[in-house]
């Protein structure tokens, strides 16, 4: 069958180029070409002809690299349509965007790809070895004094040798960038004099955000911004670091009806956006509109964008914002076997990419954690595990606060243990622990330091009278709201951060670290800093002594994870079977005896010993013992006696600020004191 949706956008030939645009509802379309010196002046218009598959096309010898162009479309005025033939619309497949002096957008024809990748290749890091580092492309280097000033806050700044050296020294494997598709600020923010800093308001799915490029690239002519972006990817790859993009395909910057019409709405509103029969938008994203992925054209637009970034730009993977929206059918109901979700998983052109879902949206039935399609050889979807986030915060923070207030913690240790071992109660046996992206924090919410310093959000600076942002933070301030000079509170907060980092980096699943948490970055209690583009959100490079100590702890934990495969199983184990690349788990209480129901569930028994042995497939045999103690009083623990174990070597203790000199030996059956609210990791021999 002919593929009518192939080669949309501009394709260059010997005699100029051809533009192909999909619209099932338009009655007329024209290509507008602008004067080379004045992008506001239409130099030529060319009627577009409708062909098979509702694809409109036009050719011109003037469609050459650098040519600025737009589309004007006419069509029905009945409910559900939004045609306005006076508007200049962006080609959804435009590979380049430029702005006029009046602020309008024009597509431009991108130059042929001649970028020299040299010997750079995708690192292709296995999921079990992956440590994600969620960062902002601007914020990560904006304050870095070792980056030349003109490159700070740019793609080139992220790829600067000092930034790369920091990431390599930390030990993370994969940089996950907040949105870098070209985006704009919402109309509401513009009126308030604020900006969208995070970037979840996409204008176009094929172009990098120009403001994150250096000034030299921004004014460097056709292709300069894209070259800087590719140069960033190249240098990160040469350093062995992967690049994952946070992509926003669930909605666009056209907002709700009455918002700016820049592209999809003006081309075919009825088919590109979810709506009711009377033309009202079905908004399951909370952003004004929802892309209608029940239509083949919208599905193909997303797939083609992913293919472009994965192949032409050599991106290593994608984190899909509000991914539940992508899996909704024509009735707006989520379907785990949705054609788009399966196509993203199975597309040969995406076979070497990581695919990660934020598995929810704000519509009915929007929480879909554990429901995304799996696949063979871990080629299925991985998902952000918010249950992991909340339970770990509760165990180390709110439960401790409740115990101080009432004398008893509200929860036992069982909920933590299930998630520590890979969340098998959430993800199917076939998907395994690599389906779970574990995180304590993300860009959205408190930083890790703020989790330990604030009981309430402090968002007045966002301009919404502190109404925005969640009130359900699962945080505990340890007795003072915000900054304090009380040494006992500061010590408790630091230990809590070490516990949270230890839990994250020693759990089965894929850990995601939020940039700055490794050294205790604060946003002063702001848990929704989406419109704060300044030092509040930029990564600080000047640290206090305690922050350097915490940074060293994070380095050590990442190294311990790398060196101990028992901490990062690929598959769930099965009782009575030896499953390759799984972990054989044995659970003991503080007496060194097998856990009983009361040990799991009792708020008075918040201590466990987790003995995990790898079942080797590609690495050497490894066995670890992790002790977790979730009460603030010290406890005496008897190390378990287990067949084949003759000694335990202490590798890390969260109660100690500097645990680099641990390496103490202990025998099975020996007793040791574990400090209140702390963790200890041993290698079992």
DSSP states along 244-274: EEEE--S--TT-STTS---SHHHHHHHHHB-
- Cβ within 8 Å of residue 464, ≥6 positions away: none
Q: Is 321 a catalytic residue?
A: yes
Nearest to 383 by CA among 314, 444, 431: 431
Angle CA(44)–CA(50)–CA(51) in degrees, nearest 5? 130
Locus of tokens 């080139």? 156
3 state SS of 51: coil
- CA 660 to chain CA centroid, nearest Å: 31
For residues 251 and 290, the answer to whether their CB atoms sit within 8 Å is yes
Rounded to whole angstroms, how far apart are CA atoms 159 and 170?
A: 16
How does 385-399 read in b/e, with b if 16+ C-beta sit within 10 Å?
bbbbbbbbbbbbbbb
Distances (CA, A) of 552 to 171, 206, 440, 654: 11, 39, 19, 12
Alpha-carbon gap, residue 210 to 181, rounded angstroms: 9
List the structure tokens of 354. 């990581």
Closest by CA to 173, choosing from 238, 246, 242, 244, is 242
358 flagged as catalytic: yes
Q: Is the dihedral of CA 171, 538, 209, 39 positive or negative?
A: negative
Report the alpha-carbon distance of residue 55 to residue 22 in Å, rounded: 4
Instruction: Return the bridge partners of 31, or none.
Output: 46, 71
The residue from 128, 242, 358, 518 that is catalytic is 358
Q: Select which of 176, 321, 383, 450 is catalytic.
A: 321
CA dist 301 and 296 (Å) reads 9
Reference 163, options 180, 179, 139; nearest CA is 139
Strand partners, 320: 247, 357
The catalytic residue positions are: 321, 358
């Amino acid at each position: 069958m002919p593929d009518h949706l192939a080669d949309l956008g501009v394709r260059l030939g010997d005699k100029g180029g051809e533009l192909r645009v999909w619209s099932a509802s338009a009655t007329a379309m024209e290509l507008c070409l602008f004067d080379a010196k004045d992008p506001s002046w239409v130099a030529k218009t060319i009627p577009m002809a409708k062909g098979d598959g509702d694809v409109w096309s036009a050719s011109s010898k003037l469609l050459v690299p650098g040519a600025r162009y737009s589309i004007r479309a006419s069509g029905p005025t009945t409910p559900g349509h939004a045609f306005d033939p006076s508007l200049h619309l962006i080609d959804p497949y435009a590979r380049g965007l430029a702005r006029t002096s009046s602020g309008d957008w024009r597509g431009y024809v991108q130059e042929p790809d001649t970028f020299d990748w040299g010997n750079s290749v995708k690192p292709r890091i296995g999921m079990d070895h992956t440590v994600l580092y969620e960062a902002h492309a601007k914020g990560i280097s904006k304050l870095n004094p070792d980056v030349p000033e003109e490159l700070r806050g740019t793609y080139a700044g992220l790829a600067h040798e000092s930034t790369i050296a920091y990431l390599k020294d930390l030990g993370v494997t994969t940089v996950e960038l907040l949105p870098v598709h070209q985006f704009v600020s919402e109309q509401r923010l513009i009126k308030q004099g604020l900006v969208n800093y995070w970037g979840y308001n996409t204008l176009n799915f094929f172009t990098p955000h120009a403001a994150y490029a250096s000034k030299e690239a921004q004014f460097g002519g056709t292709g300069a911004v894209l070259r800087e972006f590719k140069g960033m990817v190249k240098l990160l790859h040469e350093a062995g670091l992967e690049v994952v993009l946070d992509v926003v395909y669930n909605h666009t910057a056209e907002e709700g009806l009455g918002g700016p019409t820049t592209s999809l709405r003006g081309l075919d509103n009825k088919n590109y956006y979810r709506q009711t029969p009377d033309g009202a938008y079905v908004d399951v994203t909370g952003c004004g509109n929802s892309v209608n992925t029940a239509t083949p054209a919208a599905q193909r637009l997303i797939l083609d964008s992913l293919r472009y970034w994965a192949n032409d730009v050599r991106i290593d993977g994608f984190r899909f914002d509000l991914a539940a929206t992508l899996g909704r059918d024509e009735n707006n109901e989520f379907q785990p076997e949705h054609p788009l979700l399966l196509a993203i998983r199975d597309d040969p052109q995406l076979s070497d990419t990581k695919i990660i879902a934020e598995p929810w949206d704000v519509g009915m039935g929007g929480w879909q954690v554990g429901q995304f399609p799996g696949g063979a050889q871990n080629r299925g979807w991985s998902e952000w595990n918010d249950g992991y986030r909340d339970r770990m915060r509760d165990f180390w923070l709110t439960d401790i606060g409740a115990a101080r207030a009432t004398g008893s913690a509200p929860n036992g240790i069982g909920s933590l243990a299930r998630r520590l071992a890979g969340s098998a109660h959430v993800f199917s046996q076939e998907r395994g622990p690599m389906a779970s992206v574990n995180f304590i924090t993300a860009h959205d919410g408190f930083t890790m330091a703020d989790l330990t310093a604030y009981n309430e959000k402090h968002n007045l600076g966002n301009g919404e009278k502190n109404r925005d942002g969640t009130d359900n933070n699962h945080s505990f301030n340890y007795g003072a709201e915000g900054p304090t000079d009380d040494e006992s509170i500061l010590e408790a907060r630091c230990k809590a951060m070490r516990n949270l980092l230890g839990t994250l980096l020693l759990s089965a699943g894929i850990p995601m670290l939020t940039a700055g948490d490794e050294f205790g970055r604060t946003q002063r209690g702001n848990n929704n800093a989406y419109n704060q583009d300044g030092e509040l959100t930029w990564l600080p490079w000047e640290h206090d002594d305690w922050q350097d100590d915490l940074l060293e702890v994070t380095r050590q934990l990442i190294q311990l994870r790398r060196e101990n495969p028992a901490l990062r199983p690929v598959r769930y184990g099965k009782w009575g079977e030896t499953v390759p690349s799984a972990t054989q788990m044995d659970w003991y209480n503080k007496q060194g005896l097998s856990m009983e129901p009361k040990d799991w569930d009792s708020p008075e028994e918040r201590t466990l010993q987790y003995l995990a042995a790898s079942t080797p497939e590609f690495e050497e045999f490894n066995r670890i013992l992790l002790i977790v103690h979730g009460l603030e009083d010290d406890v005496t623990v008897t190390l378990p006696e287990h067949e084949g174990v003759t000694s335990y070597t202490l590798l890390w203790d969260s109660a100690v600020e500097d645990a680099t000199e641990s390496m103490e030996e202990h025998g099975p059956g020996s007793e040791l004191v574990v400090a209140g609210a702390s963790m200890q990791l041993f290698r079992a021999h």
